[in-house]
Amino acid sequence: MKTAIIYYSKHHHNTKKILEVIKAEDEELVLIDVTAKEKVVLDEFDNWTCFRNIFWKLR
């Protein structure tokens, strides 16, 4: 199955780093950086999902 992950990774680029580790385990996975402003046809993929930065603040 062809899978795409559309992601946004700013600041420390931790989201991108995590996704690159996942991609190393699945060569068919396609990572799409939303800031790259590329035209992507999602119909080409069997599955797709979105990831973005997760902010964690301890008080």
The string of pLDDT tens digits covering residues 14-49 is: 888 989 999 999 989 999 998 888 888 999 999 998
Residues 9 and 22: their CA atoms lie apart, in Å, by 15
Domain that holds residue 18: 3-51
Residue with tokens 């690159």: 20
Indicate if the pLDDT at residue 53 is higher than 80: no
Residues 42 and 39: their CA atoms lie apart, in Å, by 10
Overall number of domains in the chain: 1
> DSSP code of 46?
S
Residue 56 in any domain: the answer is no
Q: Does the pTM exceed 0.85? A: no
Residues 42 and 59: their CA atoms lie apart, in Å, by 40
Residue 58 in any domain: the answer is no
